[in-house]
Structure 1
Amino acid sequence: MKKSLIRLWSQARTQILVWYIVLMSGSTVVAIGAIRHTLFVELDARVKNSMYQELEEFKRLHLEHRLIEGDTLAENAATLFDVFLSRNVPEDDEFYITILDGRFYDASSRALPKLLQPDGQLVKQLEKITLQEFRQNATSEGEIVYLTYPIYVGERFKGVFVVVHITTGEREEVQDMLVAITNIMLWVLVIASVIAWLTAGRILKPLQSLTKAARSISESDLTQRIVIKGNGEVMELANTFNDMMERLEQAFTNQRQFTNDIGHELRTPITIIRGHLELMGDDPQEQREAIALVIDELDRMASLVNDLILLAKSEQPAFLRLELIALELLMAELYAKAQAIAPRQWKLEGQDAIADVQIYGDRYRLTQAVMNLVLNATQHTNPIDLISLGANITNTEVQIWVEDTGEGIAPEDQPHIFKRFSRGNHHQIRGIEGSGLGLAIVQSIIHAHGGTIRLQSNLGTGSTFTIVLPNNR
C-alpha cells in the first residue's frame, strides 16, 4: 500500500493536480477574504451614509425653525422631536432615539429591541452625550452604530437626537452570503480538480507513450516511435525522442553492418592464410611463396580495415574539416595526381569556368573521393582510353566529374554500385584494390558534404561520375 502511494505521488499527473489544488485553494481563501472585506466595507459605508442622511433631514428641520425668531418649535426641543418622529420613518434595523434634558424622551418605534430599552446600558450612555459623534460598538447582543446630534436652544443644551443602526442582521446576511460563495467555490474547486486531472492525463499521455516506447526498446528493435499531433513542449519532447531513436537506430545499424562487413570480408583472406600456412612444407622456395602470399593477404586485410573505419567515421559529425578551397587549384592538383596513377589519355576540362572560384569543403576528403573515382576509371579502361576530369559551377551547385571511355557499367549493376562490397556481374564495379568499398567511400564523403553523386553509363561507351555539392559561397 505504501509503495502504491509513493508511486502515485511520484507521478507527474498527481503532482500537477496537488499543486493545482494548493494554488486554487490559496486563491479561493484570498478571494473569499477579499470579498468579505469588500462586503463589510460597503455595508459600513451604506449604513453610515443612511445615518448621515437621516441626520441631515433632522438638522434641516431644526435650522428652518431656529431661524425664525420667537418660533415655539425652535424653543421647545420636545415639540421638535415630536414633529420629526411623526414625519419620518426609519429604515429596517434603524431607530431614532431622543434624549431630553439628560433623560430618554421618545423613540421612532414602540417595540424597541432590548439593546435600546430606556433602562438599557446603551441608552444610559447616550443620555450623557453632549457632542456630535459617530461610533460603532460591538455588544453581546449584536453590532450597533450610532450618530448623535446635540440640540441647543440659545446657549442652553436641551437634548440629543440619536440615529441608531443595528447591523447584526445585515452582517449575518453577509456571512450567509459568504458561506454560499464558499460552498460554490468549493464545488467549483472539486469540479475543476476533476477536469484538471483528466486534462493532465491527456496532456501527459505522450509521456506515457514515451515511457512505453523506451521500455520496449531493445538492441534488436529500435523501430519504436511516438506519434503525436499538435504543438507545444510535449510535442517537441516527442520529436526529440524520435530523432534520438533515428540516430540510435542508424548507429546500431552501422555497427551491425560494420561487424557483418568485417566478418564477411576477413573470412576469406584468413582462410587463405591459414590454409597456406598449414600446407607449407620445408622447401625454402615454397616457404618464400607462402610468406609472400600471406603478406599480400595481410596488406589487403589492412586496406580493407582502413576502408571500413573510414566508412564508420563518415557517420560522425567531426568527420569533415571544412575550409575554403580554390576550386581551380584543387582540380589542377587532382589532374596531376591522376596522371601518375596509370598511363591513359588524360584531359582536364572546365578550368576557365572555375577561375577564382572558392568552395567550402574538406580538401583531403574531396581529394580522396575524386581519386577513388579516378582509380576506379583506370581499372576499367585501357591505355588508349580517354579519362577526363572537370568542374563547373552554377548558382546552386558545384559539379566535379570523372568521365572515361572504358567498358561501362551494365544497367542491372548500376543501382547497386555504391553499396558496400558490391561487384557487378561484369566485374566493372571495383573499389580500391578490389575491396568493393571505393564507391561506397566516395558516396559517404559526398553525403557528409551535403551533396550527391550521379552516374551515367552505357556498356561499351564508358561512364561519367558527377559529384554535386551545394554552392555555399
Structure 2
Amino acid sequence: MTTATTVELRPAGPVPASGTRVPARVQIMGWLVLVMAAGLATVILLVSEFEHRAIDRRVNSGLEQEAAEFRLLASRGHDPATNQPLTDPYELFVRHLSGQYPQRAEVLLGVVAEGTTLRSVDQRDRALSDVRLDDTLLRGIVSAPEATGTVQTPGGELRWLRVDVLPPTGGSTPQAWFVSGFFMDVATADVDDTIRTLVAISAVALVLGAGVSWVVAGQILAPVNTVRRAAAALTEQDLTHRIPVHGRDDIAALAEQFNAMLDRLESAFATRRQFLDDAGHELRTPITIIRGHLEVMGDDPAERAEVVRLCTDELDRMARIVDDLLLLAKAEQPDFLRPEWTSVPELTSDVDAKARAIAPRMWQLEAVGEGEVFVDPQRVTQAVLQLAQNAVQHTTDGAVIRLGSAVHADSVSFWVTDSGPGVPSSDAARIFDRFVRGAAGARDGTGAGLGLAIVKAIAEAHYGQARVLSVPGRGATFGIEIPSGSGWR
C-alpha cells in the first residue's frame, strides 16, 4: 500500500538583484582611500618596527660598551691618571664615572654594600636628574639572578646590565656592582614623536586623497553618466541623441561604441517603421479589393469563379509585395551579401541567358567586361534581372532590349537598355525610391513600385549606386555600378 505525498508548489519570488547600491564614484573613492590607508599603515608599522629595533640595538650596544670600559679599568687595578692602586670599590666607581659622559636616556651606577645599606654613586643624563632610584629598586637589580633585565622606575622602564665586583681581599660573593642602564621611554620618545607625526601626516594625506579621488572619479565617470542619461532619454520614437567624443581614451572609445550602437538601433527602428508603413500602405488596397468582391459575390458559379480568380491574383500580388518588402528589410542586415571573387564574363552570360526567358523580346548582349570582381553574384543577378523585368514591362513583344557589363579601373557596371517610352527628367531623381512609378507606368499596370528600390538596395549594399540615363520617347538605360575589389568590404 502506498501513501500519497502532497507537494505544494509555490511561485518563486523575485530574485533580488545582486551587487550594491553604492554609487560608483563613492566606490572608487572608498577603494582608493582604503588602499592608501593600507599603504600608509604599512609604512608607519615598518618605520616603527625599524626605529624600535634600531633603538634596541643602540641601547644594547651602549650597555655592552659601558660594561667593557668598566671591566678594562677594574682589570688594571690602578688610576691611570695618578697610577695609584684602586682597592676601594667606591673609589673605583667614582674614578670611572668621573670620566664618563652619559648618552641621552643613559644612567651609570656604582653600588656598594655597606652592612645592610647600599651606597651608590651615579652619572646620568641631565634630563633624568629628577628620577630617584631608591634602595628597594637597587636591591632588586643587584640581587637579580640574571646579569641583565628591565625594571620599572619613576622615570619609566629601565633596561640594565650589571657587572659584579668581587672583594679585593678575595671571596666569591660580590659586595659591589657596576650597573649601566637606559630609560627606554626616554630613548624611544623621539621614535614615538616621529610615529605620531607620520600618523598625522597620513590622516591629512587620506583626507586630501579622498578629495582628489572624489574629483577625479567624477571627471572619469562624467562620460559614463552622460551615456547613462543618454540611454535613459532614448525611446523608440527618438533615437537621435549622441554623445560628444573627446580624446582617444577608453571613455572616448565607450562613447564611440555607444554612438555606433545608437546608429544601428536607429537604422533598425527606421527599417522596421519603413516596413510597417510600406506594408500598411501597399497591402491595404488588395485587402480592400478582396473584401469588396467577397461581399458582393453572388451564387452564380461563373461569378464565383471570377471572384476567386480576382482574389487569387490579389493574394499573389500581396505575396510578391511582402516578399519584396522583406527583401528590402533584409538589405539592411550585415549578412545580406555573400561576396566572392566572380568572373564577370560568366556572370554576364548567365544573366543574359536568364533574362531571355522572361519575355519574348529581341535580347542583345552588347558588351561583356573582362576580369574578376568581388561581389555577391546572386544579388547582382537578382538586380540585373529586375532591371530586365522592368524593361519588359515598358516594351512590347519583339522590342529590342540590350544588356551589358564593363570592368573599369576600380569598379564594375551592369546595365539594361530598353526601347520604351523613357523616363521623364522629373522622375529620374526619384525613380529608385519605394513605391514610385514613372509617369509612363508599366504597360500592364502591374507592379508595386518596389523593383527599382530593390536594385538600389543591392547596389548600395555593395557600396555602389544605381543609375538611369534616359531621353523621353527614346528608351532608357538602367544600371548599377559597384566597386570591383575587396576594399569595399
Q: TM-score range by the shorter chain?
A: 0.7 to 0.9
Distance 1:129 1:279 in 2: 130
User: Which of residues 77, 83, 107 in structure 1 aligns to 2:122?
Assistant: 107
After superposition, where does 1:418-437 map in structure 2 within 5 Å? 418-427=432-441, 434-437=447-450
Q: Does 1:250 align with 2:264?
A: no
Distance 1:318 1:267 in 2: 31
Call closer, same or farther: CA 1:374–1:104 in 2, change over 3 Å: farther
Q: Does 1:472 align with 2:486?
A: yes
Call closer, same or farther: CA 1:285–1:92 in 2, change over 3 Å: closer
Distance 1:347 1:281 in 2: 52
The 3-state SS of whatever aligns with 1:434 is coil
Residue type at the aligned position of 2:405: G
Post-superposition shift, 1:145? 2.1
User: Which of residues 387, 397, 404 in structure 1 aligns to 2:417?
Assistant: 404
Distance 1:391 1:417 in 2: 23
CA contact (8 A) 2:109 2:121 kept: yes
CA contact (8 A) 2:362 2:399 kept: yes
Q: Does 1:350 align with 2:354?
A: no
User: Deviation string for 1:390-409 (max 9, x for gaps)?
Assistant: 24264xx4513114264554
Aligned Cα root-mean-square deviation (Å): 4.0
Q: Does 1:120 align with 2:136?
A: yes
Post-superposition shift, 1:23? 3.7
Distance 1:457 1:222 in 2: 37
Call closer, same or farther: CA 1:272–1:334 in 2, change over 3 Å: same
User: Deviation string for 1:162-208 (max 9, x for gaps)?
Assistant: 32111212434433443333233223322322332333233223333
User: Which of residues 316, 322, 330 in structure 2 aligns to 1:313?
Assistant: 330
Post-superposition shift, 1:32? 3.0
Larger mean CA deviation between 251-260 and 101-110 belongs to: 101-110
Post-superposition shift, 1:40? 1.8
After superposition, where does 1:328-339 map in structure 2 within 5 Å? 328-339=345-356
Map of 2:380 onto structure 1? 366
Post-superposition shift, 1:63? 6.5
TM-score with structure 1 setting the length: 0.79
Q: Does 1:45 align with 2:52?
A: no
The 3-state SS of whatever aligns with 1:96 is strand
User: Deviation string for 1:206-232 (max 9, x for gaps)?
Assistant: 333333323322222222223342444
User: Which of residues 263, 268, 280 in structure 2 aligns to 1:263?
Assistant: 280
Map of 1:13 onto structure 2? 25
Map of 1:143 onto structure 2? 157
Distance 1:174 1:110 in 2: 18
Call closer, same or farther: CA 1:360–1:65 in 2, change over 3 Å: farther
User: Deviation string for 1:121-142 (max 9, x for gaps)?
Assistant: 2x224434798x5544556751
The 3-state SS of whatever aligns with 1:192 is helix
The 3-state SS of whatever aligns with 1:204 is helix
Would you tell me which structure has more helix in proportion to its own residues?
A: 1
The 3-state SS of whatever aligns with 1:389 is strand
Map of 1:376 onto structure 2? 390
CA contact (8 A) 2:25 2:218 kept: yes
The 3-state SS of whatever aligns with 1:261 is helix
Larger mean CA deviation between 158-167 and 254-263 belongs to: 158-167
CA contact (8 A) 1:96 1:162 kept: yes
User: Deviation string for 1:341-368 (max 9, x for gaps)?
Assistant: 34234115335x22xx36453x432321
Post-superposition shift, 1:251? 1.6
Call closer, same or farther: CA 1:144–1:239 in 2, change over 3 Å: same
Map of 1:3 onto structure 2? none
Gaps of 5+ in 1: 1-6
Distance 1:58 1:162 in 2: 10
CA contact (8 A) 1:210 1:238 kept: yes
User: Deviation string for 1:304-338 (max 9, x for gaps)?
Assistant: 11101111122233434455544443222112112
User: Which of residues 97, 113, 130 in structure 1 aligns to 2:109?
Assistant: 97
User: Which of residues 144, 157, 179 in structure 2 aligns to 1:162?
Assistant: 179
Distance 1:255 1:141 in 2: 90
CA contact (8 A) 1:147 1:162 kept: yes
Q: What is the identity percentage for the equivalent residue pairs of Structure 1 and Structure 2?
A: 32
TM-score with structure 2 setting the length: 0.77
Call closer, same or farther: CA 1:300–1:8 in 2, change over 3 Å: closer
Residue type at the aligned position of 1:338: A
Call closer, same or farther: CA 1:160–1:326 in 2, change over 3 Å: farther
Larger mean CA deviation between 79-88 and 98-107 belongs to: 98-107
Distance 1:9 1:138 in 2: 55
Call closer, same or farther: CA 1:431–1:130 in 2, change over 3 Å: farther
Map of 2:6 onto structure 1? none
Distance 2:219 2:104 in 1: 55
Larger mean CA deviation between 33-42 and 257-266 belongs to: 33-42
User: Deviation string for 1:229-277 (max 9, x for gaps)?
Assistant: 2444444443333222222222221111111111222233334444555
Residue type at the aligned position of 1:199: V
Distance 1:57 1:411 in 2: 120
